Structure 1
């Protein structure tokens, strides 16, 4: 018989770290990955599932390995948020998929944009949402259509490989890489090299969990390097040599942490090797026992930056990295690229704001047509669910702006249109508890009507569950979807409110005021009230996040 004392002295299983000899899977996800690499599902989709239909899909592929190619089953319509955590996955699954198209660096040619638009219209009931990681997501995809979709995406240099799953996901980059007048360094070549060396490589296709990357020299720090697993941030040495500062271990979800600087200077030609070292550490030393502790942020937090740097230099890249400077603080205000601004070459870029990233195939075609008609061949997606048209000649700017705005793609956008984001929400997501896109879109309309003169930067991020795909903890007003009780005693959709989160100068997570919640219906009233209090009380130059730190609880309610 095992007594409590003898149980206590058994050899602990550790955190499931491969490098320490723990190769046996300690949960179902790890078992699935050991049984068959996620990358191998591609051939089964082409040869078997697309021909035999939805019912032929192995459950381990359906809810696991298909993510390695950007495929998640959608939420079955009509299941309310109260059942999200109660039902089994097969009860939540619809027979349709969300398909995520990777857009590394947010870079799209018009040909690529038009192919996505065609696929959205032919196979996705028109759906096409720009995400806050620069991807475009289609919905309503049937398994039978997937091989044709892949063939057409790959013909123009796009793919869905490792767009989801425990893999190196899309690489964020500044949409203005190579053209921004204030850019520290252009990271385009580094994004391409990392993509070509590591994406789809079986050596890195079984990570403990997802792995998010940013590579940028943007003066506005638009790729939110502070909340990525690994980020390379443009810096310049006193000698004038340019390269990157390395950050590791950022991430939000239910246990948010800001990334930490390793304090090293990475030359442009070293970025891919250093990336390989960081992702190698994650693969080998990352925690695999518990899913909720399997992100690299927990390892970085436990090791500290000195140990992480030492292991990186001695075990992985086999050379010391020199100390380097911290990046300049982001230029003030907004970290997006909405509006009209000059490029290095005398042309202009025109950034515009779709409503919370919600577009459709026809709108994507229209964007491509407008860009082409005004002399541009390149568009970009941003990490704020917005888009940018590059290379617009000075005499074309006004016409392009007018035509975009006529299609409700605002260039001269209000703060609320420009800085409100929303995740997918209960419409399609199996984790969601509340609706997000329409709620956020209606909120924008109401706030523009009620507060037409409000001009300060203010981010409002709307999330359908606690997982923070829409980055609620780093928003001025972060809204976490949950069911709440209204004044009539009914359980309805609503939000827990986080206030005063920010990145950049005073990076920190939003303040939770005890009991601060709102119904979805009461959301416009709440935001109007707190924004009005801020306007009445703010000091010269004070941001909303700064005000929240000193405001009375009563003024935040």
Structure 2
């Protein structure tokens, strides 16, 4: 993984010192809150409903065991014993004291981490495929490009105050596991007819109030120009993006207003002036950065481990875990293992200090000291010997990190919602908890198969509800918390935006609503048909008809029955 050079160390050290003085001035009232707010946001510090929240950058989701142990230390010493992994592959801590934040940032700097540009109207954390470098379907490893773009965009003076926040995702495989179609810029590695490497470039994707899938602006961009071309896109956006209305300030609104053809024309005109300038990548620079991502010291192993295969046949629980949580690896005899952070009774994406420490220990023991964060809020051990899978499963199970539900109903994406976030209209975590409890039967989950259920507490869509097979959005209805449901969203190569099925529901009704949606699926599906395929084939109407056909009986805590 990338290691800081002398410039990185110096920049981060100076930023910590600068921020420490800003905190000192705020605590002594030399700075008013309105003056301090943009300064703290530049360092990833938000004020939420109850306390400060600090969001820490995890570039393209890659972590060392040392960095993970620092997260455990911060959770234990500066928070309430846990951290929350986000859909941006970052981690955030929700109970931070302002006066301790300079110390926290200093500790992060000691393990080559920071919270810079995890907030504000700038280029945010660049995300990628959690299986980058190891996926069998990978064209090239996208991480060197992600790192180059990270270095280029961090502290870029021209793009420090964009009209709105800006998100870039990059995918290097045939299958899109980085959700590039719902980002401001989505990059996908492609090869042309001559076998040359380049990028397909999408622009103007996003969720929030106006969910839009990105439009192709270039089918093939030579890799040497990826940085200058993104610079051209950002310049057009920075000049013409709206600043009079924050709800219409994202690049997707500008692309829609101009049309993709006119937007592309302006980008090409801007690019013509900088195409062969200092931002053009060289083979030497690419090789320099790529050298930080060498393949581990893999051993020559048999493609299949006989003992694991036998144990899989003898142990159903282990077999289910292998099926759901163990992913293919490009090297024979190795596998990638997803550590589930979706155990019933725990908010999705939360991990205790003890689990963070233990994940680091597992990484050292089984995966060359490296971990990945997924945008589905789980963790990945990327390089596990198949012969170690039995021991790893037993270890992970003992620490509540081996629930065999990856890709299933209870592997929900969920934002912190109204329990923490000041922007939220409704709580997300209790809805996730009620649904997980209602369907806490792994046999049933395995029977219904792959299904993505995403929950957001507000229209900002931090829970990616627009692209959930089933999406749940918290809305305010006359001061009460209600939930809007959509069906048919999806990420990946065949992304789609879900369609709302009808009027919103109360919190107590949500488990029954999900149950009715699943009943329609089980009734209508063809053999081995996934939920999303059934939903696309039959449309929203059958779900709507059945969900609203009869009043939904709910049980209040008093035990009295009520009906919608």
TM-score computed with the length of structure 2 as normaliser = 0.79
Partner Cα distance (1:296, 1:414) in 2: 33
Tell me the secondary structure at the aligned position of residue 498 of structure 1: strand
Determine if the alignment matches structure 1 residue 538 to structure 2 residue 512: no
Which of 492, 500, 511 matches 2:488? 500
Runs of 4+ in 1 over 6 A off after TM superposition: none
Which of 223, 228, 232 matches 2:187? 232
Partner Cα distance (1:164, 1:357) in 2: 20
Deviations 1:226-277 (A, max 9, x none): 1100111121222222221000001111111111011331222322222222
Residue 339 (structure 1) shift: 1.8
Residue 500 (structure 1) shift: 1.5
Partner Cα distance (1:187, 1:304) in 2: 29
Tell me the secondary structure at the aligned position of residue 491 of structure 2: coil
- With over 3 angstroms needed to count, the CA separation of the structure-2 counterparts of 1:414 and 1:348, relative to structure 1, is closer
- With over 3 angstroms needed to count, the CA separation of the structure-2 counterparts of 1:311 and 1:247, relative to structure 1, is same
Tell me the secondary structure at the aligned position of residue 454 of structure 1: helix
Partner Cα distance (2:257, 2:26) in 1: 47
Tell me the secondary structure at the aligned position of residue 244 of structure 1: strand
Corresponding position of 1:468: 461
- With over 3 angstroms needed to count, the CA separation of the structure-2 counterparts of 1:551 and 1:456, relative to structure 1, is farther
Maintained 8 Å contact 2:501/2:540: no
Corresponding position of 1:409: 401
Which of 85, 105, 127 matches 2:60? 105
Tell me the secondary structure at the aligned position of residue 77 of structure 2: helix
Which of 372, 375, 388 matches 2:364? 372
Deviations 1:168-197 (A, max 9, x none): 000011111111111122111111111111
Corresponding position of 1:434: 426
Determine if the alignment matches structure 1 residue 549 to structure 2 residue 535: no
Determine if the alignment matches structure 1 residue 59 to structure 2 residue 47: no
Tell me the secondary structure at the aligned position of residue 75 of structure 1: coil
Deviates more, 1:368-377 or 1:312-321: 312-321
Aligned CA-pair RMSD: 2.6
- With over 3 angstroms needed to count, the CA separation of the structure-2 counterparts of 1:438 and 1:190, relative to structure 1, is same
- With over 3 angstroms needed to count, the CA separation of the structure-2 counterparts of 1:461 and 1:309, relative to structure 1, is same
Maintained 8 Å contact 2:16/2:105: no
Maintained 8 Å contact 2:66/2:111: yes
Which of 164, 167, 170 matches 1:215? 170
Alignment of 1:273-422 (within 5 A): 273-318=228-273, 339-346=325-332, 347-355=334-342, 356-410=348-402, 412-413=404-405, 415-416=407-408, 419-422=411-414
Determine if the alignment matches structure 1 residue 188 to structure 2 residue 178: no
The alignment of Structure 1 onto Structure 2 pairs a total of residues equal to: 479
Determine if the alignment matches structure 1 residue 158 to structure 2 residue 113: yes
- With over 3 angstroms needed to count, the CA separation of the structure-2 counterparts of 1:110 and 1:61, relative to structure 1, is farther
Partner Cα distance (1:155, 1:381) in 2: 21
Maintained 8 Å contact 1:476/1:544: no
Corresponding position of 1:425: 417
Corresponding position of 2:96: 141
Maintained 8 Å contact 1:353/1:409: yes
Partner Cα distance (1:454, 1:296) in 2: 41
Which of 405, 416, 438 matches 1:446? 438
- With over 3 angstroms needed to count, the CA separation of the structure-2 counterparts of 1:544 and 1:467, relative to structure 1, is farther
Give the gaps of 5 or more residues in structure 1. 1-39, 77-95, 322-336, 486-490
Partner Cα distance (2:399, 2:201) in 1: 41
Maintained 8 Å contact 1:174/1:223: yes
Determine if the alignment matches structure 1 residue 266 to structure 2 residue 221: yes
Partner Cα distance (1:251, 1:359) in 2: 28
Maintained 8 Å contact 2:405/2:411: no
Maintained 8 Å contact 1:112/1:156: yes
Deviations 1:376-407 (A, max 9, x none): 31100011111101111121122112221232
Which of 507, 523, 535 matches 2:510? 523
Tell me the secondary structure at the aligned position of residue 297 of structure 1: helix
- With over 3 angstroms needed to count, the CA separation of the structure-2 counterparts of 1:162 and 1:415, relative to structure 1, is closer
Deviates more, 1:285-294 or 1:505-514: 505-514
TM-score computed with the length of structure 1 as normaliser = 0.80
Partner Cα distance (1:301, 1:383) in 2: 27
Residue 291 (structure 1) shift: 1.0
Partner Cα distance (2:341, 2:272) in 1: 42
Give the gaps of 5 or more residues in structure 2. 1-13, 277-322, 343-347, 549-564
Partner Cα distance (1:297, 1:415) in 2: 29
Tell me the secondary structure at the aligned position of residue 401 of structure 2: coil
Residue 504 (structure 1) shift: 4.2
Residue 304 (structure 1) shift: 2.1
- With over 3 angstroms needed to count, the CA separation of the structure-2 counterparts of 1:69 and 1:550, relative to structure 1, is closer
Partner Cα distance (1:101, 1:398) in 2: 33
Partner Cα distance (1:143, 1:166) in 2: 22
Residue 55 (structure 1) shift: 5.5
